[in-house]
Structure 1
Amino acid sequence: DWRLVNRVLKEGYVVLDKGKFVRVLEEFLKERLLERIVIDDLESIKPYLKEIERVVAKEKKKFEKIEFDRVDFSCFPPCMRNILADLRKGINIPHTARFAVTSFLLNIGLDTEQIIDLFKSAPDFDEEKTRYQVEHIAGSKGTEYDCPACDTMKTYQNCYEDNSCKKINHPISYYRRCMKRMKLSQKDGDKT
């Protein structure tokens, strides 16, 4: 329910989480566009609709959650391999790296318990705090978080780029491409 009485106010402003803000913005833009669009002849735009649908469907795929058959550590991008290696060595990794690796692992299919197990080697491990943070990133409290893009990883000095990262702008893209290549090479191997 969007009535003001059901919203949290802070210093005269309505407080919204990211998901609700996006929804309000979406409705606002939709209304503004509908006010401005006047189409007298619907037949004249029909030829363009198929192309628009195709482009929208292609762009929408970029934002869909990816389901992988299995998790393959050999396909992890260098940033995630390095963060996990540091974690296994008992090195205290920064919060930004913890967030990045947690969101990455959730997005490729690891469950909360598997991720908590990975953090047990952290020198400051606290199971209750770790569980809360992993579940929060997984979306149990509302917003499900995506893994940070490469530019963000670089900003926080969590990027360990190598030659295999060329033309990649997101750790999930790196993983997806590697898994696709592995799947194709398995198919080629099955044919021989």
Structure 2
Amino acid sequence: ERNFDILAKSYLSDIKEVRERAGGDSTYWVPISDFIELCPRISGNYWRLINRPLKDGWVCMNSGAGESSRKRTARLIKERIREDLTNSCIERMNKMDDSFAELFIDPVERVTKLLSEQVKEEMPMNASIRADWPPCFESAVGELSQGVNVNHTGRLFLASMSLAMGLSQEQACGFFANAPDYNADTTSYQINQIYEAKYTPHGCAALKTSARCPVSPGDDRLCDQEWLTHPLKYLKAKQRRRFQETGATVITDKTE
């Protein structure tokens, strides 16, 4: 408890603790400025300001979805710490000259390779092999597996794309297991809603607008094609090529 208080006062501009009753759990309130700055990086309706109780410039971090008020507040603090670490790393990187940066090339490549191999081993395969995955899907899976906080559009796309690819709900839920705000019950419920509603995955234009397209011109020849307007078309093109070579099954493109 003492460590939480120290971290809260160090990384938030202020914080208030209100005890509901003697011996009961505390409810924390944070300044609206902190909440507005940090909440866009966390997905879920809870983190939208319109859904939070407000009073005199303070936002109530009440409990919800099996998490206490302290856990909710801790997630805000975690985002602040992540931001500070990122800024610190960028600042230090900018101070590096080329000769110093070259010392890290081999270690970074080894770590990146190990992480990539680990992700490949952990990811389930079903209707398509990993080589068929469009870069946007691969990117979302890889980021979540490494604990990166993927935005709402990226998460919705990942779930709906899993549905379109024929993956089970359990497999789709597995992609989110390392997400910073992962909650098994909440994830299972949301995935089920997407599968029942049969969401169609976002197209390329929407993904680019939401910063979920990781490809630049020239990175992927298939993505550079004018007709490639949807990740399912990418998947279908990849599978058609493989079908011609091995007789594999091609997933129907629901965008056509």
Shorter-chain TM band: 0.5 to 0.7
* Deviation digits for residues 124-171 of structure 1 (CA, Å, limit 9, x no counterpart): 1001110111011112xxx31000000000110101123230221000
Where has structure 1 moved over 4 Å in runs of 4 or more?
none
Aligned to 2:239, what secondary structure does the other structure show?
A: helix
In the TM superposition, residue 117 of structure 1 has moved relative to its aligned partner by 1.3
| Structure 1 residue 109: Cα displacement | 0.4
The alpha-carbon deviation at position 172 of structure 1 amounts to: 0.6
Residues in 2 aligned to 1:144 and 1:166: alpha-carbon distance in whole angstroms: 28
Q: Which one has the bigger helix percentage?
A: 1
Give deviations 1:66-124, integer Å, cap 9, x for gaps: xxx83211111111111111011111111110001110011010010111111111111
Paired residue for 1:174?
A: 234
**Is 1:86 matched with 2:143?**
yes
2:175 alignment partner, SS class? helix
Letter of the structure 2 residue corresponding to residue 145 of structure 1: Y
Find the counterpart in structure 2 of residue 160 from structure 1.
Answer: 214
Looking at structure 1, the residues matched to 184 and 192 of structure 2 have their Cα atoms a distance apart, in angstroms, of 12
Instruction: Kindly indicate whether residue 133 of structure 2 is the aligned counterpart of residue 76 of structure 1.
Output: yes
Q: Is the 8 A contact 2:163 2:198 kept in 1?
A: no
The question of whether the paired residues in 1 share the 8 Å contact of 2:132 and 2:239 is answered with: yes
- Identity of counterpart residues, as a percentage? 29
Give the counterpart letter for 1:171 in structure 2: P
Cα distance in 2 for residues equivalent to 1:144 and 1:97? 17
- In the other structure, the counterpart of 2:27 is none
Equivalence for 2:104 = none
2:146 is aligned with 1:146: no
2:183 aligned to which of 104, 122, 126: 126
The runs of 5 or more residues in structure 1 that have no matched partner are 1-68, 188-192
Measure the CA separation in 2 of the matches of 1:99 and 1:74. 22
Q: How does 1:1-192 map to 2 (within 5 A)?
A: 70-139=127-196, 143-161=197-215, 162-163=219-220, 164-167=222-225, 168-186=228-246
Asked if the contact 2:127/2:167 (under 8 Å) is kept, the reply is no
SS in 2 for 1:90: coil
Name structure 2 gaps, 5 residues minimum: 1-125, 248-256
Cα distance between partner residues in 2 of 1:135 and 1:186: 34
Q: Is the 8 A contact 2:161 2:201 kept in 1?
A: yes
Give the letter aligned to residue 90 of structure 1.
Answer: G
How many residues are treated as equivalent by the alignment? 116
Aligned to 2:182, what secondary structure does the other structure show?
A: coil
1:153 is aligned with what amino acid? Answer: L
For residue 177 of structure 1, what is the amino acid of its counterpart? A
Three-state SS of the structure 2 residue aligned to 1:70 is: coil
Give the partner amino acid of 1:100.
F
- Within 2, Cα distance between the matches of 1:70 and 1:136? 21
